[in-house]
Structure 1
Amino acid sequence: MQRLSDISTIRAVMEKNGFSFSKALGQNFLINPSVCPRMAEMSGAADCAGAIEVGPGIGVLTYELSQVSKKVVTIELDKRLLPVLDETLADCDNVKVINDDVMKIDLHRVIEEEFNGEEVAVCANLPYYITSPVIMKLLEDRLPITSITVMVQKEAAERLCAQPGTRECGAVSAAVQYYAEPEILFE
């Protein structure tokens, strides 16, 4: 298969499977060919039991994670993407796709069943509307996670990393910094 980050490949896969973006789900797919390999490499997935990906889209980041990680479990809410993922990830023997809502699924159970309870890295390209809820769920659930690497809008990243006492710092910034040490890896 051609590079998944190539726009013509994305169009062809979407057309073949009759898929169109859902505005309600805030779907946006990564097409910059350098972003996903960098995210996968920086996620730390190579140094732990595996990776959990939230919202794989057509599998661009999933594929890159599969190249550096022992195992990848990806959680996709949109069942319309399942046949697309079957096609795009057909050569990735270390990937499992779960059709569920990351906000409702028991991630402790997923980590126990899929990774024997060992530490994992989390990686995602998150839509703006769900960024804070997903990050807070991951942190508040006290999961065995070594890192959370997310692609978010620049403004959201700056808010997550805002220092206390600054205008950008809010409740989410304070909460994230209570549990973790956020940093912007690249723009």
Structure 2
Amino acid sequence: MHKDIATPLRTKEILKKYGFSFKKSLGQNFLIDTNILKNIVEHANLTEQSGAIEIGPGIGALTEQLAKSSKKVTAFEIDQRLLPILKDTLSPYNNVKVIHGDVLKADVKKVIEEEFADTPDVMVVANLPYYVTTPIILKLLTEKLPIRGIVVMLQKEVADRIAAKPGTKEYGSLSIAIQYYTEAETVMVVPKTVFMPQPNVDSAVIRLTVRERPVVEVKDEDFFFTLTRSSFAQRRKTILNNLTSQLPDGKAKKDIILAALEKSNIDPTRRGETLSIQEFGKLSDELFLDFTGNALS
């Protein structure tokens, strides 16, 4: 039996052996608590028939637990210095592949087709570097990958925003963008003490289950997201003021915006944070032709 990677002692041993120093620019914080890692993996509901994609495996602490719980793990690691370490720490597992590269630039769909051809159930499970959490999650969702869902550790504050409900101060365009594609829930809160080095903030694990179809059917997704972002540009402003100042030619089209709000049964004095995704969907469809000029094919 080899010792788990995710203990303070073993982590220090590995870092010392390779003379590894943390790079702040890469947001490296390694988990040193095996129970928490096992918990994260449990929330992904993997079986022997599942594939797991990991982003930022570090020295392999989470990778190891994924390898034990799934058929195959493919991990993206951007830091070249970690490749020899991973080769060493993950040598007991023959079902792990590490790809050296930036997941934001990778063709993830192609990787899934190549690596998981015989594993129809694929989950993304990762302890994400905080500075790129949102772009990574949005990339995975907007590319409509054949995955069941995403279980990721991220900054608690971002997790709160992702899972937020209308009418709360955390609710915003990020909540809508992610809940449009998935059902989002925070499954655990993680103290900063279980990381090396310790980050300045608490973390949380969020589970995103991909919906079979988006939560609302809209005529144009790009315009829908433009509209939601515009609605939260200045949180204290009303929906009417935000859209007038943010949408292209909004000032000239104020009457059109007002009419669309009325048609959608949305009081123009409401703030963006009080609108449900369904209300945004309705409004988006009302305004779409006036702001994109595309006749519906």
Q: TM-score range with shorter-chain normalisation?
A: over 0.9
Determine the structure 2 residue equivalent to 1:93. Answer: 94
2:110 aligned with 1:114: no
8 Å contact 2:52–2:123 — kept in the other structure? yes
5 Å matches for 1:25-104? 25-46=26-47, 48-104=49-105
Name the CA shift for 1:98/1:177 in 2 (closer, same or farther; >3 Å).
Answer: same
CA distance in 2, matches of 1:98, 1:62: 13
SS in 1 for 2:54: strand
How much has 1:15 moved relative to structure 2?
Answer: 1.4
Amino acid in structure 2 at the alignment position of 1:180: T
CA distance in 1, matches of 2:78, 2:49: 25
CA distance in 1, matches of 2:20, 2:143: 33
How much has 1:153 moved relative to structure 2?
Answer: 1.9
CA-based RMSD of the aligned residues comes to 1.3
The gaps in structure 1 that reach 5 residues or longer are none
Determine the structure 1 residue equivalent to 2:20. Answer: 19
Determine the structure 1 residue equivalent to 2:127. Answer: 125
SS in 2 for 1:131: helix
CA distance in 2, matches of 1:90, 1:164: 47
Determine the structure 1 residue equivalent to 2:188. Answer: 186
How much has 1:73 moved relative to structure 2?
Answer: 0.3
Q: Alignment partner for residue 155 of structure 1, among 141, 154, 157? A: 157
The more displaced of 91-100 and 8-17 is 8-17
Amino acid in structure 1 at the alignment position of 2:21: S
8 Å contact 1:48–1:120 — kept in the other structure? no
How much has 1:45 moved relative to structure 2?
Answer: 2.7
How much has 1:154 moved relative to structure 2?
Answer: 1.6
SS in 2 for 1:112: helix
8 Å contact 1:6–1:31 — kept in the other structure? yes
8 Å contact 2:51–2:72 — kept in the other structure? yes
How much has 1:47 moved relative to structure 2?
Answer: 6.6
Structure having the higher Rg: 2
Determine the structure 1 residue equivalent to 2:171. Answer: 169
How much has 1:46 moved relative to structure 2?
Answer: 1.7
SS in 2 for 1:57: coil
How much has 1:48 moved relative to structure 2?
Answer: 4.9
The more displaced of 112-121 and 70-79 is 112-121
CA distance in 2, matches of 1:19, 1:184: 32
The gaps in structure 2 that reach 5 residues or longer are 190-297
CA distance in 1, matches of 2:50, 2:4: 26
8 Å contact 2:48–2:71 — kept in the other structure? no
- State the number of aligned residues: 187
TM-score by length of 1: 0.95
Amino acid in structure 2 at the alignment position of 1:167: K
The more displaced of 114-123 and 10-19 is 114-123
8 Å contact 2:56–2:129 — kept in the other structure? no
Determine the structure 2 residue equivalent to 1:8. Answer: 9
CA distance in 1, matches of 2:39, 2:126: 13
Determine the structure 1 residue equivalent to 2:136. Answer: 134
